[in-house]
Amino acid sequence: MSSTDPIIWNEWIERLRGQLSPEIFNRHFSGMELVGISGDCLKVALPAGADLATLSRAYGGILDLTWSEAVGKDQRVELAVGGAHAAPEPSPAAEAADFIPGVSLNPDFTFETFVEGNNNSYAVAAAHSVAEQPGGPFNPLLIYGGSGLGKTHLLHAIGNAIHARFPEKTIRCITANDFSREYVDNIRRSDNENMRRSDGSRPVRPIDEMDDFYRHKVDVLLMDDIQFLASGEATQIQLFHIFNELYGSRKQIVLTSDKPVSELEGLEERLVTRFQGGLSLDVQPPDVEMREAILRNKLQRMDRDLSDEIIRAIAMRVAPNIRMLEQVLRQLLFAATCNKCDITPELVDKVLGSIGQSARGPVTASQILGAVCAEFHIDESRILEKGRGTQEAAGARMVAMYLMRKLTKMSLKSVGNYFSGRDHSTVVSAVNNVEKSLEADPGLRRSVDNLMARLR
**Would you say 316 and 288 are in contact if contact means Cβ atoms under 8 Å apart?**
yes
Of 44-58, 285-299, 337-351, give the lowest mean pLDDT range.
44-58
- Can you tell me the distance from the alpha carbon of 179 to that of 177, in angstroms, rounded to the nearest whole number? 5
Strands 33-38 and 41-46: antiparallel
Question: CA 105, CA 174: separation in Å to the nearest integer?
Answer: 9
Query: Model confidence over 128-164: pLDDT tens digits?
Result: 999 999 999 999 999 998 888 899 999 999 999 999 9
* 340, 369: one domain: no
Q: Which domain holds residue 348?
A: 303-354
Give residue-wise pLDDT tens across range 10-62: 788 888 877 776 667 877 888 888 888 887 888 898 887 777 877 777 677 77
> pLDDT at position 192, please?
65
pTM above the 0.85 mark? no
Domain boundary among 49, 73, 89: 89
Closest-CA residue to 215 (of 271, 253, 175, 260): 253
Q: Domain check: are 176 and 274 in the same one?
A: yes
Domain annotation covers residue 75:
yes
Note whether 131 and 229 are same-domain residues.
Answer: yes
Q: What CATH number is attached to the domain comprising 420?
A: 1.10.1750.10
- The angle subtended at Cα 272 by Cα 268 and Cα 275, nearest 5°, is 140
Q: Among candidates 322, 317, 353, which has minimal Cα distance to 335? A: 353
Same-domain pairing of 429 and 316: no
My answer on whether 211 and 257 are in the same domain is yes
- Supply the pLDDT for residue 87: 39
Which neighbouring-strand residues pair with 221? 172, 253
45 and 131 inside one domain: no
Name the average pLDDT for the chain.
Answer: 82
Give the CATH number of the domain where residue 41 resides.
Answer: 3.30.300.180
The helix/strand count (H/E) of the chain reads as 20, 8
* β-sheet bridge partners, residue 48: none
- Residue 68 in any domain: the answer is yes
Domain-located, residue 116: no
Q: What local confidence, expressed as pLDDT, does residue 452 receive?
A: 80
Rounded-to-integer distance, Cα 204 and Cα 261, Å: 35
Same domain, yes or no: 68 and 128: no
In angstroms, the CA 252 to CA 243 distance is: 10
Residue, of 77 and 331, whose pLDDT is higher: 77
pLDDT tier, 206 (very low <50, low <70, confident <90, very high otherwise): confident
- The string of pLDDT tens digits covering residues 167-194 is 999 999 988 888 888 888 888 877 765 4
pLDDT the model gives residue 84 = 43
Say yes or no: 146 and 43 in one domain: no
- Whether 29 maps to a domain, the answer reads yes
Kindly write down the DSSP assignment for every residue of 183-209, as one continuous string: HHHHHHHHHHS-SS-TTSPPPPPHHHH
| pLDDT attached to residue 97 | 35
In this predicted structure, what is the pLDDT of residue 15? 81
pLDDT at 243: 94
Give the confidence band of 337 by pLDDT, cuts at 50, 70, 90.
confident
Q: Look at residues 40, 72, 89 and tell me which one is the last residue of a structural domain.
A: 89
Per-residue confidence (pLDDT) for residue 201, from 0 to 100:
56
Quick one: average pLDDT of 413-423? 89
Which band of pLDDT confidence, cut at 50, 70 and 90, is reported for residue 88? very low
Mean pLDDT of 56-85: 77
Conformational region of residue 72, where left means phi above 0, alpha means psi within -120 to 50, and beta covers everything else: left
Buried b (16+ CB within 10 A) or exposed e, 134-145: bbeebbbbbbbb
Rounded CA gap, 45 and 31, in Å?
A: 8
Which CATH number covers residue 186? 3.40.50.300
Range 88-108 average pLDDT: 48
Lowest average pLDDT, out of 16-20, 382-386, 423-427, goes to 16-20
Residue 296 within a domain:
no
pLDDT of residue 199: 54
CA-wise closest residue to 122 among 138, 134, 110: 138
Predicted confidence band of residue 374 (pLDDT cuts 50, 70, 90): confident
Going by C-beta distance under 8 Å and a sequence separation of 6 or more, which residues neighbour residue 38?
1
User: Could you tell me the end-to-end alpha-carbon distance of the chain, in angstroms, rounded to an integer?
Assistant: 35
Q: Cis peptide leading into 442, omega within 30 of 0?
A: no
Are 186 and 238 found together in one domain?
Answer: yes
Q: How confident is the model at residue 352 (pLDDT cuts 50, 70, 90)?
A: confident
Angle, alpha carbons 5-339-357 (nearest 5°): 85
Instruction: Kindly state the percentage of the chain with pLDDT values over 90.
Output: 27
Residue 403: inside a domain, yes or no? yes
- Highest mean pLDDT: which range of 62-66, 223-227, 324-328: 223-227
Reply yes or no on whether the pLDDT at 98 is more than 50. Answer: no
| Same domain (yes/no): 403, 422 | yes
Verify that 393 and 370 share a domain, yes or no.
yes
Domain assignment present for residue 369? The answer is yes
Q: Assess whether 175 and 310 both reside in one domain.
A: no
The CA radius of gyration of the chain, in Å to the nearest whole number, is 27
Domain count, the chain: 4
Highest mean pLDDT among 4-8, 284-288, 401-405: 401-405
Q: What percent of the chain has pLDDT over 70?
A: 87
Helix (H, G, I), strand (E, B) or coil at 281: strand
293 found inside a domain: no
